[in-house]
Amino acid sequence: MNNRQRAALYAGLITFSLSALGADGPFHDAPASPRSLPADNLPPFRMLDDGGKLVPIPSMPPGAGMHRGAGSPAESTAPGPSLTAAIGAARAAVDACGAAGYRVGVAVIDSVGEARAMLTADGSDGSHIFVATRKALTALAFDMPNSSAVDALAKDPSLLSKVKPNMFVMPGAVPIVINHKTIGAIGVSGAGGSPFGHQDEVCAEAGVKAIQKMAK
């Protein structure tokens, strides 16, 4: 497929996306694989193609803007911690692990698994936030701390149906529960501890406590 054919194909895809998604625009493409994290969706242009060339921006349908204007409705209305609460929780988890001598990555997600805040401690491997996100997705799906989810899976293999390819089923994440409602989860990765992941989960609990304190 040459660049002209590819551009025509992408223009058609965008036209379809606009008609199907309305105000959402053309940026909600399918994730690259089942292991992709929520919202990790990229538009099919301005990236390298299989031949090592940048895919051009296709022609847009008349009246269709590439960007949403100022004052547009929220892109997401899913329940979740506020920006202030999410950052505070992530910071509390980083600090709790730091006080114990560990450099970690922390991810806070909302009720549909999309990122609200991610922090990496100074000196920490940046990959930890992505492991932390996958841990948080597990806590959200099981609506329990990951240590409890691991135990539950060992006792009841049928629960494996809750596990998706983008999850990391290890201790180190807990759901965020406010007023008896789960609004997200917080995951931590990079700490030591025994059993494996235990210290991560202790720090995640510190993050949840920070959110609960702000909610009072």
The full DSSP string for 73-85 is PPS-------HHH
Burial class, 63, CB count within 10 angstroms (exposed 0-12 / middle 13-18 / buried 19+): exposed
Across 59-68, 81-90, 116-125, least confident range: 59-68
Phi, psi of 20 (to 5 degrees): -85, -35
- The three-class DSSP label of residue 186 is strand
- Residue 95 in tokens: 């600090």
**How would you write 39-72 as a 3-class SS string?**
CCCCCCCCCECCCCCECCCCCCCCCCCCCCCCCC
Residue 128: pLDDT band (50, 70, 90) is very high
* Choice between 45 and 18, residue whose per-residue pLDDT is larger: 45
60 plus 118 within the same structural domain: no
Q: What percent of the chain has a predicted confidence (pLDDT) above 70?
A: 83
Q: What is the mean pLDDT of the chain?
A: 86
Do 45 and 87 lie in one domain? The reply is no
For residues 12 and 167, the model is more confident at 167
Q: In terms of residue numbers, what domain contains 87?
A: 83-215
Q: Judge contact between 174 and 140, C-beta under 8 A.
A: no
What CA–CA distance (Å, rounded) separates 8 from 55?
11
Model confidence at 153, pLDDT cuts 50, 70, 90, reads: very high
Does one domain contain both 36 and 66? yes
Residues 21 and 47 grouped into a single domain: yes
Mean pLDDT value across residues 42-62:
85
Residues 71, 132, single domain; the answer is no
Strand partners, 177: 182
Tell me the pLDDT band of 20, cut-offs 50, 70 and 90.
very low
Residue with tokens 């008349």: 62
Q: Is the pLDDT of residue 123 over 70?
A: yes
Radius of gyration of the chain (CA): 20
- Model pLDDT for residues 97-106, shown as the tens digit of each residue: 999 999 999 9
d(CA 62, CA 185): 41
Question: Which of residues 212 and 6 earns the better pLDDT score?
Answer: 212
The reported pLDDT for the residue numbered 70 is 84
- CATH for 142: 3.30.450.150
* Mean pLDDT, residues 66-78 taken together: 82
How many domains does one find in the chain?
2
Residue 150, pLDDT above cutoff 70: yes
**Last residue in a domain, options 75, 102, 128:** 75
**Residue 51 — pLDDT band, cuts 50, 70, 90?**
very high
Q: Is the pLDDT of residue 44 over 70?
A: yes
Residues 146, 40: one domain? no
Q: Are residues 60 and 92 both part of a single domain?
A: no
**Together in a domain, 87 and 163:** yes
Residue type, 107: A
Q: Are residues 126 and 52 in the same domain?
A: no
64 and 111 both lie in a single domain: no
What pLDDT does residue 5 have? 43
Q: Quick one: average pLDDT of 191-210?
A: 93
Same domain, 112 and 202: yes
- Calculate mean pLDDT across residues 167-176: 98
Per-residue pLDDT, 65: 56
> Do residue 24 and residue 121 come from a single domain?
no
Which candidate, 187, 183, 216, 181, places its Cα nearest to that of 80? 183
DSSP for residue 181: E
Q: Which residue, of 75, 94, 113, is where some domain finishes?
A: 75
Question: CB of 189 within 8 A of CB of 129?
Answer: yes
Residue that terminates a domain, selected from 49, 75, 101: 75
**Cα torsion 143, 146, 151, 155: sign:** positive
pLDDT of amino acid 58: 82
